[in-house]
């Protein structure tokens, strides 16, 4: 299979490239230097040169708070850039896999969100990613939309790395305890994308590590597991706080937990529990050092 990956230099993109290459697929990794997704002609030329069977669109504007004041850029990348890549993929009859987000929901539901619940994004980031979803659904004849949440991995910045750094530097940390979701390890998500895109089971999927926690519970688990896996003691005292204690420009969904209905009904194996994913990541982090 020939696979074009946008956002190939990003946190998820690097693992997607790695896993598809290890599975003996021919991969064209595209970062922003190689492919400007906001330039349609560039998208078309790059895609028609390579002729992929699948385009995995990891590229996105993900600066959630900055998007509130940088609206044009957020939409240029997440909406127009996605449209450009969909049209380019269609020109060579390639499948299209769009990585989306829990931010397309408002977070007010009591139960986990399933794939066919109504979306209601509250932030510019969420609205621009939802605009991308709509364009994929209306322009692609063979698409996978994969919504994920709380992503972390070996590459780039993420919550786990931030906690480990702050835990070694500060005596006390306050972490939000009234937002819940499902942490997602990039390795587990990349493995799911590898399996999914080799099928024709098109549609919307929710893919995160299973189970749920608050950010505070996630932070506690990080330190609990890191002490044994990384062999390092963290003296920081972790205290719960509220969303209101840390006001941010962009609103966060209080409930980001997503039901994996499509994974089950399409016969795929679900992602492992989030705490197992965390342990595996800390092991990978230890080995990388």
What are the domain boundaries of the chain?
Answer: 2-158+183-210+257-272
CA-based nearest residue to 212, from 184, 187, 238: 184
Q: Which two tokens stand for residue 111?
A: 């139960």
Residue 205's contacts (CB-CB under 8 Å, 6 or more residues apart) are 115, 144, 145, 146, 147, 196, 260, 262, 263, 266
| Alpha-carbon gap, residue 51 to 253, rounded angstroms | 38
Tell me the percentage of the chain whose pLDDT exceeds 90: 95
Is 103's pLDDT higher than 90? yes
Tell me the average pLDDT across 43-53: 98
Q: Are 277 and 209 in contact (CB under 8 A)?
A: yes
Catalytically annotated residues: 125
| Alpha-carbon gap, residue 2 to 110, rounded angstroms | 42
Q: For residue 264, what pLDDT band results from cuts at 50, 70 and 90?
A: very high
Whether the model clears a pTM of 0.85, i.e. scores above it, the answer is yes
pLDDT at 231: 85
Is 246's pLDDT higher than 90? no
CA-based nearest residue to 81, from 119, 49, 55, 50: 55
Please give the radius of gyration of the chain, using alpha carbons only, rounded to the nearest integer.
19
- Reported as a single tens digit per residue, the pLDDT across 189-236 is 999 999 999 999 999 999 999 999 999 999 999 999 999 999 888 888
Domain range 2-158+183-210+257-272, its CATH number among 3.40.50.720, 3.90.1150.10, 3.40.640.10, 1.10.579.10:
3.40.50.720
- Reported as a single tens digit per residue, the pLDDT across 3-40 is 999 999 999 999 999 999 999 999 999 999 999 999 99
Q: Which two tokens stand for residue 226?
A: 């890191």
């Amino acid at each position: 299979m020939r696979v074009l990956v946008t956002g190939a230099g990003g946190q998820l993109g690097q693992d997607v490239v790695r896993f598809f290459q290890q599975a003996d697929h021919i991969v064209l990794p595209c970062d922003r230097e190689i492919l400007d997704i906001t330039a349609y002609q560039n998208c078309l030329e790059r895609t028609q040169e390579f002729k992929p069977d699948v385009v995995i669109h990891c590229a996105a504007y993900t600066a959630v708070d900055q998007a509130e004041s940088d609206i044009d850029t957020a939409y240029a990348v997440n909406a127009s850039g996605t449209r450009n890549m969909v049209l380019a993929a269609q020109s060579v009859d390639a499948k299209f896999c769009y990585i989306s987000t829990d931010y397309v929901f408002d977070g007010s539901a009591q139960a986990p969100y399933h794939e066919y619940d109504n979306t209601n994004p509250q932030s510019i980031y969420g609205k621009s990613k939802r605009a991308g979803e709509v364009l994929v659904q209306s322009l692609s004849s063979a698409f996978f939309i994969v919504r994920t949440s709380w992503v972390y991995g070996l590459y780039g910045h993420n919550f786990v790395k931030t906690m480990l750094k702050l835990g070694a530097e500060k005596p006390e940390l306050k972490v939000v305890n009234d937002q819940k979701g499902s942490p997602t390890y990039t390795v587990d998500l990349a493995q799911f994308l590898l399996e999914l895109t080799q099928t024709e089971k098109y549609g919307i999927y929710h893919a995160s590590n299973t189970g749920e926690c608050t950010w505070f519970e996630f932070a506690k688990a990080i330190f609990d597991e890191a002490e044994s896996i990384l062999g390092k003691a963290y003296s920081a005292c972790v205290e719960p706080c509220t969303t209101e204690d840390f006001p941010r420009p962009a609103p966060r969904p209080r409930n980001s937990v997503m039901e994996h209905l499509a994974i089950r009904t399409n016969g795929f194996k679900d992602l492992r529990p989030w705490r197992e994913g965390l342990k595996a990541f800390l092991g990978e982090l230890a080995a990388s050092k």
